Structure formats: structure tokens, C-alpha cells
Amino acid sequence: MLPEDHAARGPVLRVAETILERAGYRRIETPVFEHTELFARGVGASTDIVQKEMYTFDDGGGRSLTLRPEGTASICRAYVDHGMHKLPQPVKVWYHGPFFRYERAQAGRYRQFWQIGAEAIGSDAPALDAEVIVLLASILDELEVGGLRLRIGSLGSPETRAAYREELQGHLRRHEGQLSDDVRARIDLNPLRAFDSDHPGTREVMATAPLLLDRLSAEDAEHFAEVRALLDAVELPYEVDPTLVRGLDYYARTVFEFTSDALGAQSGVGGGGRYDGLIAQLGGQETPACGWAAGVERMLLAAGDRPAAAPIVDLYLAVDGGEAARLRAFRIGAEARRAGLAAQVELAGRSLKGQLKQASRLSARYVAIVDDTGQVRLKDMDAAEQLEISDVDVVAQVLRGRGLS
Ligand code: ATP
Ligand code: MG
């Protein structure tokens, strides 16, 4: 990530921080690698992530470690390890950082990418689902991410899902001949993923497949209806998509995804859902929870280029003399920065002309030319004025000129 990329990314992280912290989410940071077992159990053995996208290595001490492919499993581990169930619930946290997946790299899909995520752990209230969705919507809205669509669905409870799974497997087996090879190979392991396929034969089969949404228990259907009512209450548009299947195994009840038409094939900007079973699966108590993750690179792609503000330079220290002048310029530069000014010192041994050119490239507001006379020529570049002053007065003069004193 080059400096100009960082300049574009900064505002994204700041917007997320402002919106999430305002809603009471606090930043959490988990390690960049964890025991492989955590992801195998937490993300799910049948997922693409665990099956083919993890960077797994032996640490030399006989432990299998994996570069984190996602954030939720680690946060649940932290919740269990640090007894966070004793805190007032729900525990609301957010994070951002690098994640790693072994994928075919292309526009919007990288092997190391940056995610922002939020998790709210310890409540099964539909308001939790709606809150996290609304917060991600606000972030994307604030960033002016274009062509956004929100799709939501419900996967019901593990029991409903298990019964539905069998029903769907029956349907797939009845039409096995029409399915793509990989969908057929995964009828047992992950039949729900068949909804994601763009293989024509598979799509035809899926058009007549039974839908999980039609099989929800009364309680789960009620939960889903409440989530929708809350989204309606804040006038957040969404589409109910009965075929929405998130790529992670641990979801139950609400799932959602934001996509952007401004992106090509990798249209997913961010998504998530409820994962009520995960914490118990990782050794904690039964704890309902909900969250999402969003890709920073995709948010930036979908938001289009927004020119980043050039860094401000209050003072540029140019040297027009020998060793003594260089020392003085260096000292004034350090003093200026201590006083809170953005100050840069000539470091490349340029001629005076070259230094003035560099100062103008940086749009420096003031240029101080330190020469062998023992005085400083301070140029106010806006007013095109020049003062002859002594070293000790330079900082005070620039502070005054910048309205900082
Ligand atoms: P996709 O369908 O594109 O593979 P996913 O379902 O694997 O996405 P999640 O695991 O839900 O994605 O991750 C949340 C977000 O992280 C995605 O919506 C996307 O913005 C981003 N993301 C996921 N994988 C990558 C990647 N390899 N490179 C860049 N961003 C990614
Ligand atoms: Mg993926």
C-alpha cells in the first residue's frame, strides 16, 4: 500500500470509527494468526475459506497456524478466553486490519485485503441485527459508495436448517444430471451453496427448489419480521432474497449482504449475519451474536476516486549556505514541529533554486531561507512578502501567520 493509497484509505477508516464508536462499539484487535483449529471449527469445514483459501503453516513447534481469513472466529475466541460474558451484554466491538485468503487475485479480490468489521455479542434481539445492518449502511452511505443494494434473508435455526437441508438434498439428487460437477460433489457437504452457482443447468434446478424462508419456524419468522420492521422504521431499502447464502457455515437466522453495481464480478461490498451457535461451538456458553465485515478495497473501488487532500506544509526550511546554515535550518525545523507546525527540511542537497521549486511543489505556505549571514529570509508565499528575521523569531512568526498563536 503506497502513500497515496493510504491517503485514500484514511477517510474510510475514520468514517467507520466515527459511526461505530458513536453507537458504542469499541475497537478490538486480535492476532493476525491463530491456531488453524479455530478457523476450521469457527468458519466451518465445508466452506470455501477452510477448504481452499487458508494460508496455513507449521510454526516449527508442531503447531498448525493460519493467517486469519476473517475476523469473527477470533473475536468469539477472545470473548470466551477473556470471560466477556461477565460484562454488560451485548458486548459491541469493531475492528479493521489485514486478512488473508488464497484466492485468484483480480480487481477487487486480493490475497491480502483490508476488512472493517463490527460484532455485537450477547443478545438475540432483532434490534441487534437491524442495528448492525443500519451501521454498515450509514458507513457506505457516508462514503458515497455507488449502486448499493442490500439483500437480506433468514436461515432459521439449526434444526429448521437441518430439516430443510435434507429436503433440498432430495431435490438436488432428483435432478443430479443437470447440476454442475462442483455442486453435485457438494450435495452432501453444502447443498445450500447450489443457490450461488451461475451454471445454467444448476440455475434451472434451483428455480424450482424449495426455499428455506418458507420453512422457518414461527419464532424465526417472527424474528425476521421484526428485523424487517426495524429497517422499515429507518427507511432503509432492502430486498428479501430467499436464496441468499453467506459463505460461512456459522450463520443462523438473519443474513445480509451489500453489493454494488459499480463493481464488476466481485460485487460484494460487505455482509454478515447472526451467528448464535458459534460461541458455544468454540467452547463458550450459548451466546447469540450478530455482525458483519466489509472490504475496504471494494468500498474504495465502488466509491470512485475522491481526490485526497494534499498534506499541508506550513514551513519549508531551505539552506543557502554552508554547514552552519544547514545546522540552523535543521534546528529551526525541529523547533517548528515541536510547536505543532508541519515543517520540512531540505534533505537532498538541492540548489537554492531547486529548493524553492520543491517548496512550491509542496505548496509550502512559508519558506525560510537560512544563509551564512546569521539571519533568515522568511517568505510568506501567499502574500508574496519577505521578512528578514533572526532564527528564534521564525517559529513565532509562522505560528502568527497561520493564526495559531
Ligand atoms: P466474495 O463473494 O467476493 O468471495 P465473501 O463472501 O468471501 O466475498 P466475506 O467473507 O463475507 O466475503 O467478507 C466480507 C467482505 O470482505 C466482502 O464483502 C468483500 O468486500 C471483502 N472481501 C472478501 N474477500 C476478499 C478478497 N479476497 N479481496 C478483497 N476483499 C475481499
Ligand atoms: Mg470469498
Cα–ligand 2 centroid distance for 103 (angstroms): 8
Instruction: Return the ligand 1 atom nearest residue 69 CA.
Output: 10
Q: How far apart are CA 72 and CA 77, in angstroms?
A: 9
Residue with CA at minimum distance from ligand 1 atom 26: 109
Contacts of 36 (CB under 8 A, 6+ apart): 54, 56, 64, 65, 66
- Left (φ > 0), alpha (ψ -120 to 50) or beta: where does 235 sit? left
Binding pocket residue ranges, ligand 1, CB within 6 Å: 70, 101, 103, 109-110, 113, 115, 247, 266, 268-271, 293-295, 297-298
- Which of 264, 227, 272, 267 has its CA nearest to residue 247? 272
Q: What pLDDT does 5 receive?
A: 86
Ligand 1: which of 113, 149, 255, 292 to mutate, judged by most atoms within 8 Å of the beta carbon? 113
One-letter amino acid at 232 equals D
Residue 404's pLDDT band (cuts 50, 70, 90): confident
Mean of the pLDDT values across residues 281-293?
96
Write down the pTM of the prediction.
0.89
Q: What pLDDT does 44 receive?
A: 85
Instruction: Return the ligand 1 atom nearest residue 105 CA.
Output: 27
Tell whether the model's pLDDT for residue 183 goes beyond 60.
Answer: yes
Residue 69 and residue 100 in contact, taking contact as beta carbons nearer than 8 Å: yes
Within 10 angstroms of residue 257's Cβ, the number of other Cβ atoms is: 22
Residue 205 and residue 178 in contact, taking contact as beta carbons nearer than 8 Å: yes
SS3 368: strand
Cα–ligand 1 centroid distance for 295 (angstroms): 6
State pLDDT tens for residues 300-359: 999 987 777 788 999 999 999 999 999 999 999 999 999 999 999 999 989 999 999 999
Residue with CA at minimum distance from ligand 1 atom 20: 295
Higher-confidence residue of 246 and 31: namely 31
- Which of 112, 116, 18, 6 has its CA nearest to residue 67? 112
Residue 247's pLDDT band (cuts 50, 70, 90): low
Ligand 1: which of 55, 190, 251, 266 to mutate, judged by most atoms within 8 Å of the beta carbon? 266
Tell whether the model's pLDDT for residue 47 goes beyond 90.
Answer: no
Q: What pLDDT does 246 receive?
A: 62
- Percent of the chain at pLDDT > 70 equals 99
Residue with CA at minimum distance from ligand 1 atom 1: 268
Select 3-156+216-303's CATH number: 3.10.580.10, 3.30.930.10, 3.40.50.300, 3.40.50.920.
Answer: 3.30.930.10
Contacts of 83 (CB under 8 A, 6+ apart): none
Domain 315-401 class, CATH top level = alpha beta
Q: Kindly report, as residue ranges, where domains of CATH 3.30.930.10 are found in the chain.
A: 3-156+216-303
Residue with CA at minimum distance from ligand 1 atom 25: 109
Q: Kindly report, as residue ranges, where domains of CATH 3.40.50.800 are found in the chain.
A: 315-401
Mean of the pLDDT values across residues 225-238?
98
Q: What pLDDT does 249 receive?
A: 63
Q: How far apart are CA 93 and CA 77, in angstroms?
A: 13
| H or E element at residue 204 | helix 200-207
Instruction: Return the ligand 1 atom nearest residue 111 CA.
Output: 27
Residue with CA at minimum distance from ligand 1 atom 2: 268
Q: What is the DSSP secondary structure assignment for residue 264, as one 8-state letter?
A: S
State pLDDT tens for residues 375-396: 999 999 998 899 999 999 999 9
